[in-house]
Structures are given as C-alpha cells and as structure tokens.
A and B are shown apart, each in its own frame.
Chain A
Amino acid sequence: MSKNKVSRRQFLSYTLTGVGGFMAAGMLMPMVRFAVDPVLQPKASSDFIPTQQKVADITDVPTRVDFKFEQQDAWYTSEETGTAWVYKDDKGEIVALSPVCKHLGCVVDWNSDKANQNHFYCPCHGGLYTKDGTNVPGTPPFAPLDVYPYIEKDGYLHLGKAEPKKGA
C-alpha cells in the first residue's frame, strides 16, 4: 500500500471527469469535422483530365486524343468525351488544340481536305486553320482554335479546360 492513498471522492471525480471528457469529445468531434469539411475536400482533381496519350509518343503531326470527363449539369452527372489535336511544335513544346470550329461549332479535322494540306479543315463551311490553330483569313472562322492547357503526369498527358488562344 502506498502512502498517498486515493480517496474515494478523488477516485470518483477523476473517473467522472475522464468519462465526461470522452462524452464531450464524442459529441464535439463530428461537429468540428462537419464545420471544417469544406477545407479538407480535395480540390476537384486539379481540373486536369488524364488522357491515354503518352507524352513521349507525341510527334510533330497533330494526332487525335480522346479523353473522358464527367460533366455536371446541376444534379445530373454525365460522362462526356472530349477530343484534342495534340502535336509538338518546332521548339518541342506540346500544343493541344480544341477541335471545335470557332465559326459555328462543327468539328474540324486535320489534313482532311485535299486542296489544303497541313491545315485543320472544317467540313461545314470550309473554315481553315493553320497548324498552330490560327484561322486563315477569307474563311468563315473569326478566331483561332481554342487551346487546352496541359500538364505532364507520370508520362501521360493531362488536359485542362480549353481556353481562347492568347494574343488573339
């Protein structure tokens, strides 16, 4: 038996404080978690969508790259397919262009018009864009093709949201 005995009163007050503390914590924890939850949410996967395209495989010829992303319309989430024309320019920089014609929104194709080799061609109204996406004057489109921002992750190309070309 040790000298400093714990009295019955002390013992009870220690255990009560202990148990009470746990109960309070049990009540408060979910509340705190609930309050700070928005801060802990991961940023919507940084808005870059992974594609199946390996960065090392990109050549200087525009290639079609399809990717899947989820589009949210209010409560309804649907899976959409996006497309990009991807190539490396003279400086070895990757360029990813949106295939949507700036005229009325048809889908442009690379090199599909025999009269205009090495151009993006819109089959609807004959819109033409050069390889870097600049619209050819005299054809209907009035702006260059949109450009996707991109990042490289684990060797694969990740694309962001298409933006109007800078300096246009």
Chain B
Amino acid sequence: MKWVSQDIEMYLKSKEYVDTIVLPLLPVSLGNDVKQSVAMSEFISLLSIQLERQFRGRLIMLPGFSYLKGNSEDKLVSDLKEWEKELYAKDFTHVFYLTSDSFWKAVENKLDGGLIWLPSLPLEHMDENYRTSILEDQVKQLLSLFLQKWQSAE
C-alpha cells in the first residue's frame, strides 16, 4: 500500500493482513557527489513503486527517509534506529530498508530490520520499455527474498 489516504483506509480495514513495512533510504547531497546521490534516490524511488505494486496487499511503502549524506555515521544510525523502534512498536513484524547507498551495508548489523541493498542502475539512459523490464526483473528477485522472510516467520 502506498502512503496515500485511499490505501491507508484499506490498511485500517485489514490491519491483520499487513505485517510488513518498507522504508526507502534516500541519500541527499549537494556536494561533489550530487549526481550519484540523485541516481541512487531515483533508482530506489522507481524500484519502490514496482515493489509496492507487486506486494501491495501485505506491505506499506513509506515515503522515503531522506538524509544528508554529510551527517556522521552515529547520527544516521541513531536516527534510523528511532524509526525502527517506532515501526516495531506499531506491530509490524517485518521492517525492510531499501537503499542503494553502500553506507548502510557497512552498518547493517546495527539494524534490526532487513536491509535490502541494490547497486543503482543508470536508468536515465534507458528507454521506457527496457527500464520497466529491468525493474520488474529486480522485483522478481526481491520477491523470493520477501517470501523467505515471511515463511521463516510463520
């Protein structure tokens, strides 16, 4: 379900079926690596749309968590930990983070939620058809990952 009124209405009606929440992590930087951080955020936003379409009945796709790339490691981790605490407190059994920023891969073991890290692809150079099929392929691979997590919890 997307973060829009209509979908959240549906969520409130069928809460018992929704146990997963996904938070895209979007880096923002206006320094030298501005292009890179834009590419990462763009890729993850597009991917999250496809992912939401596939699993809309069981997960909520949150609006992205955007953070300044220049912040210190401690601050970023503790900020995200706060999100994590809130999400788990609200009865979501599965919390996933979706990102292209390799920073999070390095601190993965400090997080309780599952981190899905995918290197960003230069989608801006592709034409529409190719882009969609690539994203769908990526989602297909994520599908098994989600299923595994869900099954292991049952």
Contact = CB atoms under 8 A, between A and B. Distances in A.
Contact of A107 (B10, B18, B54, B147): B54
Contact of B57 (A79, A81, A124): A124
Nearest to A101: B57
B57 A105 contact: yes
Contacts of B56: 104-106
Nearest to B144: A123
B49 to A, nearest CB: 11
B3 interface: no
Interface in A104-136: 104-107, 122-125
Interface in A74-116: 79, 81, 101, 103-107
Given A104-B10, A104-B14, A125 B54 contact: no
A140 interface: yes
Nearest to B7: A105
B144 to A, nearest CB: 9
Interface residues of B, number: 15
Contacts of B57: 101, 103-106, 122, 124-125
B154 to A, nearest CB: 10
Nearest to A122: B57
A1 to B, nearest CB: 75
Contacts of A79: 128
B17 interface: yes
Nearest to B14: A104
B132 A123 contact: no
Contacts of A124: 17, 55, 57-58
B136 to A, nearest CB: 9
A106 B54 contact: yes
A123 B53 CA distance: 13
B21 to A, nearest CB: 14
B18 to A, nearest CB: 8
Nearest to A140: B17
A123 B17 contact: no
B46 interface: no
State the 8 A-B residue pairs at the shortest beta-carbon distance, nearest first: A104-B57, A124-B58, A106-B57, A124-B57, A105-B56, A107-B54, A105-B57, A106-B55
